[in-house]
Structure 1
Amino acid sequence: MSVRRMKRRDPRTGAVTERWFVDVDFELADGKRERVRKVSPVQTRRGAEEFERQVRQALLDGSWFKPAEEVKEVPIFDGFKDRFLTYSEVNN
């Protein structure tokens, strides 16, 4: 199990808090390695172990990775020049 309890210090107050962390090192089918280090949402040992199982299952399913963002099409000058010239004639 790659679940451990780590101490962190708050930079503002200096208070020390202990958190359960999940550290998963996963090798994908193409040979790449993916390392996931997250704070467990449930701050108990059993909760962190369950979260680790969920992360491992999501990595196996491929649902852990975010879908690629859609590329917004930016107009080039030829498509924009008529609109710009009309705007500049009206506003100048």
Structure 2
Amino acid sequence: MTGQPVAETDPRRLDRIVTNLILNAHRHGAAPVEVMVDGTTIVVRDHGPGLGLGLTIGQAQVIGAHLTLTNANTPGGAVATLELPRQTPATPT
């Protein structure tokens, strides 16, 4: 694929999802909280013990995103990976 990937989504819901992931990492996890973006994937990682994401999971489903919650491989922490639906490229006519 060439160029930057483009996600087709509701920006208000995306803002709410990412904000909730970051707030959850600060409230239930521990510093440092890391946010990484790679194409249409957003990863929020903390270094603490907990998760609490009920509403965030529902918001992700509404915009067609895939939210995966896992434990970090290094000591402690949670990793939330949000994969946004990619925009389908227009076909030349």
Q: TM-score, normalised by structure 1?
A: 0.25
Greater fraction of residues in strand: 1
> RCO higher in 1 or 2 (8 Å CA, sep ≥ 6)?
2
